[in-house]
C-alpha cells in the first residue's frame, strides 16, 4: 500500500488522477458527503437551538466506506484531501478530517 493517500470527493475522477500520480499514491473517493445532520436536539432538527451547534452522524450507508478510508489513512505518511473547491467540498474535507482523525 502507498504511503501517500489522496481522498477525492468524486469517484469518477479517481482513476484519471491515479494514472497521473502513479504508484506512489493511492487515490480513493469519499463518494460525496460521509456525514449528515443527526435526528437529535429539540424537534429533531440536528442542531442545538441555543448555540446553533450542529449534530452530525456518519450516514449508515457510508459506514463501510468510512472503515475502508480509516484503513487507508492509518499507515499513510501523507494524506491529501482533494475535494472540490467549493462550499460542499470544504465541508466534506472538514468531516473527513474530523471522522478520520487526520
What pLDDT band is residue 1 in, cutting at 50, 70 and 90?
low
Look at strands 25-29 and 4-8 and give their pairing: parallel
* 87-100 vs 63-74: helix crossing angle, rounded to 10: 70
86 pLDDT above the threshold of 80: yes
The number of angstroms, rounded, from the C-alpha of 37 to the middle of its chain's C-alpha atoms is: 15
What domains lie within the chain, and their CATH numbers?
Answer: 4-32+60-100 (3.40.50.140)
Residues counted in the chain: 102
Report the C-alpha gap between 1 and 58 in whole angstroms. Answer: 26
Segment 36-78, tens digit of pLDDT: 999 988 888 999 999 999 999 999 999 999 999 999 999 899 9
- Give the angle 8-11-15 at the CA atoms, nearest 5°: 90
**Residues 89, 15: contact at Cβ < 8 Å?**
no
Instruction: Scan for cell 479517481, then name that residue.
Output: 14
Segment 2-35, tens digit of pLDDT: 689 999 999 998 999 999 999 999 999 999 999 9
**Residue 36 contacts by C-beta under 8 Å, 6 or more apart in sequence?**
56, 57, 59
Amino acid at each position: 500500500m502507498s504511503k501517500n493517500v489522496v481522498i477525492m470527493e468524486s469517484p469518477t475522477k479517481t482513476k484519471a488522477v491515479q494514472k497521473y500520480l502513479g504508484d506512489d499514491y493511492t487515490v480513493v473517493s469519499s463518494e460525496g458527503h460521509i456525514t449528515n445532520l443527526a435526528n437529535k436536539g429539540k424537534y429533531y432538527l440536528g442542531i442545538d437551538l441555543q448555540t446553533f451547534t450542529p449534530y452530525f452522524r456518519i450516514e449508515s450507508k457510508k459506514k463501510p466506506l468510512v472503515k475502508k478510508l480509516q484503513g487507508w489513512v492509518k499507515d499513510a505518511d501523507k494524506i491529501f484531501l482533494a475535494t472540490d473547491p467549493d462550499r460542499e467540498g470544504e465541508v466534506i474535507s472538514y468531516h473527513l478530517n474530523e471522522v478520520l482523525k487526520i
